[in-house]
Chains A and B, each alone.
Chain A
Amino acid sequence: MLRTFRLFLIASFVAATFGVPATPAGAAGDTILFGSSVSLTGSLAKEGKLTQEGYDFWKDYINQHGGLKVGGKSYKVDIKYYDDESKPASAQQLAERLIDQDHVNFILGPYGSGTAFTVAQMVERKKMPMVEGNGAAEKIFSQGFRYTFGVLSPAKKYLQGVLDMAAKRKPRPVTVAISAASDAFSLEVQQGVVDYAQTLGFKVVYSNKYPDTTTDVSSVVSAIKATNPDIILNAGHLQDALLIHKGLKEQNVQAKIYAYSVGPDTPDFVNSLGKDANFVYGGAQWSEAVKYQGQAGFYKSAMDYANAFDAVYHHRPDYHNAESTAACLAFQYALQKAGTLDSEKVRDALQSLDIVTFYGIIKFDSRGLNVFKPMVVNQIQHGKLVTVWPEFTANGKPMYPAPPWAQR
């Protein structure tokens, strides 16, 4: 027993330190292999799943339509996934694994700003192009990284559209309250609101942050109520948006506009709150209502994309789905333009990309950030998501102001 066990231990040490690990064949022959670590378990499991759906939807489309033509040769595409358990440290290690062990050709981003940041640092060292659609913090793009590209509009813009829309309402709202979860993304959203509100002539009467693991926001709500604002904004995540919205009703806080950076666009928000969800606005990277005419090679309009997506996954795509698919599209058109799988040339092609898709414009500034695409504002009306801003793309008018709680 004892001897066998000791031998086993020695053998496993030797195997661990010297053994050559079995290396799966990576981008063999006629397949382009993408790799991504997404959060399939842990606190971001929902968002991670939406990301994965967005990627998979693109992959299936390409493979069903004869593959991807690069430099005259047609390739199948495949995506290798790992679960980062919603932990940034884990995401970095898994991305390293995708590159060194699985020999993926390119990296598709993980979900979340913190996670995207750690992976961005790693791909930079490896000179491996990554396009991500789920990390909007500008911090990622202010480090001079050359290999990371983000298809989404920066965090600061998330709620600025709501303010633009508010400025055009009659009677014009005057005061703004904003609370933010203490994480990099939400704090940037908050900063964006505070700066922009002043330029539009709003008065910020409350601006504060709360711990991102909070379980009780009633005191935040009380403090907001004490300032009696016209516009109540929150920069945070789905869970916080639900907590705060419930809290606002419980304490009977009446404002003209309620808007959340993340939350109202996921179906979970309406499912959880029922009719209390009505009249709530949300900043969104994309909605079904956007009216772009995309170029050939994929679904051209948002509506076509949404309908096809619904047929496969049995729910309407939200902007997390769409921005993930858009990250794939950036690769698709950059690869076709580069005509090669060479990572340096693909990087250059990404840098000079300038396309219009169902998702909107995809074009990167020198930092790798897609600042050219406007964000939209959605409002929940009668339990449905309606795009109300900007006016040229809207499919409905804002219902303003929000009526008293009892009448919703």
Chain B
Amino acid sequence: MQLFFQDLVNGILAGGILAVVALGFSLVWGIMNIINLAHGAFIMLGAYIAWQLFTSLHVDPFLSVPVAFVIMFGFGYLLQRGLINRVVRAPVLATFLLTFGLSLLIQNLALMVWTSDTRAVTPVYSGANFDIHGVTIPWAKVATLAAALLITLVMYLWLQRSKMGRAIRATAMDVGAAQMVGVRVAHIYGVTFGIGAALAGAAGALLSLSYSLNPSMGEPFLIRGFVVCVLGGLGSVEGALIGGLAYGIVASFASNIDFTLYGQHVSGTGLQDVVALLVLLAVLIVRPTGLAGRATA
């Protein structure tokens, strides 16, 4: 029973960060129809920003989150206006290919700048924890989850309430109509891509606490982002959160399944991704637009 609650807690704590990872990816995909394969590389950049600030200036990684957010926003905005915008209306696969190239480029430039050495951000409170009835909960991960929830909430309110947020949602629904009512689509696209990159950067900075850094660290998160954003529903903020938590919890429970079948030892730890992916497929087949998806996709 204790293990049950511990698994649940582990899943929720892991899921929060996956939500932020998926959120930026999901917004860019849902609003601009760009499958951003460089998202993993953006996460890596965010993590290195946090690491650099931590090692050179002793900045706490949580304080680096807004810094990474702002830097990556600028980077994403410029990248969209300067490069991706040139092919943004080409068939979707052109941008797919473009971001694939960008991801290679960024990853390997990072390899030159920061070398292949594995790095980590280890502040003094790293590993500190508290105990509730035998379930151990690390403070840093609770704070990470809180930050993830806060980011998601702010994003949700911003998209729902602000003028810019409404313009973004309008553009997602109908580019032509949005243009007609005076929305500057190029700017909107720049902001959207910038937000996507900023969220990746923030996720990377948060990850720097629990994960170790190297230039190819983003890849496994890219794939999980893919799955989570569809699990929740494309382009939906609350969907990314639900999807992230669902993925985290399912993977966590799956990893402690352990049984023997026809004399073959089946270990859930090896199969945690399989179980999570089967859940994804089941959700897709029952609800083709995701857990929190709207009818329109």
Contacts and interface: CB of A to CB of B under 8 A. Distances in A.
In the complex they form, whether A and B have CB atoms below 8 Å apart is answered with yes
Given A46-B118, A276-B127, A210 B214 contact: no
B238 interface: no
B136 A251 contact: yes
Interface in B220-277: 220-221, 224, 248, 251-253, 255-256, 258, 267, 269-270, 272-273
Given A215-B211, A216-B14, A274 B129 contact: no
B111 interface: yes
A182 B214 contact: no
A41 interface: yes
Interface band, chain B: 35 or more
Interface stretch (B5-13, B72-80, B155-163): B5-13
Nearest to A209: B270
Contact of B120 (A42, A46, A213, A242): A242
Contact of A210 (B136, B221, B224, B269): B269
Contacts of A266: 118
B116 A49 contact: yes
Interface string B1-24: 011001100110110000000000
Residue of B127, B215, B267 ringed by the most chain A CB atoms within 10 A: B127
A222 B10 contact: yes
Interface band, chain A: 35 or more
B127 A46 contact: no
A182 B273 CA distance: 13
A250 B211 contact: no
A274 B119 CA distance: 11
Interface string A358-369: 000000000000
B140 interface: yes
Contact of B127 (A49, A210, A250): A250
Contacts of A268: 117-119
Nearest to B21: A215
Interface of B: 2-3, 6-7, 10-11, 13-14, 107-108, 111, 115-120, 122, 126-127, 129, 131, 136, 138, 140-141, 210-212, 214-216, 219-221, 224, 248, 251-253, 255-256, 258, 267, 269-270, 272-273
Given A219-B251, A250-B127, A272-B118, 12 more contacts: A41-B107, A43-B219, A46-B116, A46-B117, A209-B270, A219-B7, A219-B256, A222-B256, A243-B211, A251-B6, A251-B129, A251-B138
30 contacts: A43-B219, A45-B111, A46-B116, A46-B118, A49-B116, A208-B258, A210-B255, A211-B270, A214-B272, A215-B224, A216-B10, A216-B251, A218-B10, A219-B269, A225-B6, A238-B212, A239-B212, A239-B214, A243-B212, A246-B127, A246-B210, A251-B129, A251-B138, A252-B129, A252-B131, A266-B118, A268-B117, A271-B119, A271-B120, A272-B122
